[in-house]
Amino acid sequence: MPELPDIAAYISALEPRIVGQPLQRVRLQSAFLLRTAQPPVTNAEGRVVRELRNIGKRIAIGVENDLWLALHLMIAGRLHWRPPEAKLAGRNNLAAFDFPNGSLVLTEAGTKRRASLHILSGEEGLHSVDPGGIDVFTSDLDSFRATLTLENRTLKRALTDPRLVSGIGNTYSDEILHAAQLSPITLTHKLQPDEWERLFTAARDTLQFWVDRLRAEAEAAFPEKVTAFRKDMAVHGRYGEPCPRCGEKIQRIRYADNETNYCARCQTGGNVLADRSLSRLLRSDWPRTLEELEALKRR
Ligand SMILES: [Zn+2]
């Protein structure tokens, strides 16, 4: 699932292409994509794009009259920049947003239709789809700790809960926990003061590193290869490969449809935790489906 660094890269690539341009037409190929009835999508047509923002893992395109088109890509949704009036051939092409200089095309691989589009009015509308998680770049250590200890959760779950922290999912939580040298199954209520500091610093540094890297790439070319697995990642997607810090083999915990990767020497005091019992622990701390996790909202 595209997370904060990927969303930042898309926004960096889109800003020079569509801000100041009129959104001429929205073509929807999938009846399931649009999740709002009012205001109608035609209200956004013919209006000039004013601003782009990320709302959690969503990309929000703001047009004149304070209307917003908010896209959630979920796992397999991707954006592409194609020539004007690009054809939407094939069932993976869900929608096109037409501009005079090109078409922004939304695709979703696979058969599950999880990606969504909301048409929203004003700040209030945007707020209605905001899960409420804090932004690690604008929050401080105290509010970070206060938010993550609202419930006693595993660190893995707390970091990926959109009500608690904005924009982090399975990929970057693995990278953050490795950078902080903390176990994914440590409970938030057990964390010591120095560990909170390490976690907060690691969250900021890891996200900043990847935001900078992916933005720089997006300035050179539209991000066509958005993936959860990147070479140069420390642990995520690297099961069985050597840890870049200590050289030990990267371990994994499988639960639900997910896999968490960690280094035993760096993160769990050298203990290779039994996959089955860990899976049980993580699964019991998890909503049944990814959709449920993504739909969580702060009240
Ligand atoms: Zn290691």
**Do residues 193 and 187 lie in contact, with contact meaning Cβ atoms separated by under 8 Å?**
no
Ligand 1 centroid distance, CA of 248 (Å): 6
Tell me the pTM: 0.94
The pLDDT-based confidence of 285 (bands split at 50, 70, 90) is confident
What's the token pair of residue 214? Answer: 């992916």
Please say whether the dihedral angle defined by the alpha carbons of residues 119, 25, 116 and 76, taken in this order, is positive or negative.
negative
Mean pLDDT is lowest, of 40-44, 244-248, 274-278, for 274-278
The pLDDT-based confidence of 138 (bands split at 50, 70, 90) is very high
Share of the chain above pLDDT 90, in %: 81
What's the token pair of residue 279? Answer: 């899976």
CATH class of 141-297: mainly alpha
Ligand 1 centroid distance, CA of 238 (Å): 12
Four-point Cα dihedral 182, 168, 1, 259, nearest 10: 20
| CA atoms within a 13 Å half-sphere pointing along the CA-CB vector of 51 | 11
pLDDT of residue 179: 98
CATH architecture of 4-127: Alpha-Beta Barrel (3.20)
Where exactly does CATH 1.10.8.50 map onto the chain?
141-297
Give the other-Cβ count within 10 Å of 48's Cβ: 13
Ligand 1 centroid distance, CA of 53 (Å): 36
The pLDDT-based confidence of 291 (bands split at 50, 70, 90) is confident
Residue 89 has pLDDT above 90, yes or no: no
> What's the whole-number mean pLDDT along residues 237-241?
95
Specify whether the backbone of 126 is left (phi greater than 0), alpha (psi in -120 to 50) or beta: alpha
Q: Which of 8, 9, 28 is nearest to 225 (CA)?
A: 9
The pLDDT-based confidence of 25 (bands split at 50, 70, 90) is very high
More confident residue, 45 or 276: 45
Where exactly does CATH 3.20.190.10 map onto the chain?
4-127
Ligand 1 centroid distance, CA of 163 (Å): 30
Give the other-Cβ count within 10 Å of 212's Cβ: 12
Mean pLDDT score of the chain: 93
